[in-house]
Amino acid sequence: MKLKGRVALITGGAQGIGRATALAMAREGADVAIGDLNQDRAQGTVAELQRLGVRAAAISVDVGDRASVAGMFQQCVEILGPVDILVNCAGTGAKGRGLEIPEDEWDRVLDVNLRSIFLCCRQAVPGMMERGWGRVVSISSQAAFSGSAIADLPYAASKAGIIGFTRGLARMAASQGVTVNAIAPGLIDTEFPIRGGRRSREEWLASVEKTVPIGRLGTAEEVAELILFLSTDGASYLTGCTIAAAGGSLMY
């Protein structure tokens, strides 16, 4: 078991990519805390984790809110112990497209997608550095490189910001046994791309044939495998990277 004795905190772990990551880490022996707005779903995922024989906790959090993030870390430490692996997976898209969106909507998306990662890392990384081991994996997006196909400007900007933040923090923490990496998923089959009527499932599926060389959507489990790898000892010489999980639609 590659993560036995480790504590992982996964934001946005109630469903989708975060849930698949939580399950993959639990199968490798990690104890897992899930920080999510959606406590009904988080509790369901925690029950699945416990059935795998690990300790698990659902913690209510709004990742864009400083006090809420501080409370999540405090609860995680009390229930499971200090965080060894932080996965920043919670994310949101804007309500509206293009330059017409209100400024407060811009701020909300930047807070949930980018400021949250600063807030979580500020809680987690100093302790990891002191203990000499840690892993941070943050979920960016293909939109950071290619722009959002539906002109969600704050989404593309926030996801690009994650890449710069990852590189900066990776340099800062590298000598203390802490690696910091990001994943840029392409079109992954979760509820996210169609949430809130941002686009129809048909509109979304139509883009697969045109843009994805592998010719199908990715699965949450395929992204989770990559996050799992970056969280193990086997990935100890990888830091500051952003790895595409995009079926060939993003090559660099």
Active-site annotation, residues: 155
Distance CA 72, CA 251 (A): 36
- Report the nearest approach of ligand NAD to the CB of residue 239 (Å): 20
Distance CA 202, CA 19 (A): 25
DSSP string of 165-177? HHHHHHHHHGGGT
Q: Tell me whether residue 53 or residue 215 sits nearer to ligand NAD (CB atom).
A: 215
Q: Tell me whether residue 134 or residue 247 sits nearer to ligand NAD (CB atom).
A: 247
- Report the nearest approach of ligand NAD to the CB of residue 177 (Å): 26
Residues in contact with ligand NAD by CB under 6 A are: 11-12, 14-18, 36-38, 61-64, 89-92, 112, 139, 141, 185, 187-188, 190-193, 195
- Report the nearest approach of ligand NAD to the CB of residue 237 (Å): 25
Q: Tell me whether residue 117 or residue 169 sits nearer to ligand NAD (CB atom).
A: 117
Q: Tell me whether residue 85 or residue 90 sits nearer to ligand NAD (CB atom).
A: 90
Please report, for residues 1, 69, 171, the alpha-carbon distance to residue 131 in angstroms, rounded to integers and kept in the order given.
21, 21, 17
Is the Cβ–Cβ distance between 8 and 22 less than 8 Å?
yes
Distance CA 88, CA 227 (A): 10
Q: Give the tokens for residue 194.
A: 């169609």
Residues 6+ apart with CB under 8 A from 166: 136, 138, 140, 180, 181, 182, 240, 242
Q: Give the tokens for residue 216.
A: 């199908």
Helices of type H across 80-152: 103-110, 116-131, 143-146
- Report the nearest approach of ligand NAD to the CB of residue 26 (Å): 17
Distance CA 133, CA 173 (A): 10
- Whose tokens are 């686009």? That residue is 199
- Report the nearest approach of ligand NAD to the CB of residue 11 (Å): 6
Q: Tell me whether residue 27 or residue 108 sits nearer to ligand NAD (CB atom).
A: 108
